[in-house]
Amino acid sequence: MTMIAVFRSRAQALEYISVLQKGGVPAQAVNTPKEAGVGCGISAKFEDTFLPRARACLAKRKYSSFSGFMRVNGGRFGYL
């Protein structure tokens, strides 16, 4: 299942994607879905099997603009 990490800062979203990739998580930049309710426009997309590793990468750094993780549910994204 597809997951996204939502940020309010484009720079922090792109940095997080880089951290994920270096940590072995296949991640990419995607447009933030409107359901997120934030204006950044870029989120990190990855598969849910990597969620524990994605959370560990998030905990190692201070991302002040992180809004939360979202998952596809019935074709729409919703916060965990």
For the residues 60-71, what does the mean pLDDT come to?
A: 94
∠ CA 68-19-47 to the nearest 5 degrees?
Answer: 55
**Number of structural domains found in the chain:** 1
For the residues 59-63, what does the mean pLDDT come to?
A: 92
pLDDT digits (tens, 9 = 90+) for 33-54: 888 888 768 999 999 999 999 9
Contact 7, 42 (CB under 8 A): yes
- Here the CATH number for the domain that contains residue 58 is 3.30.70
Range of the domain at 16: 2-79
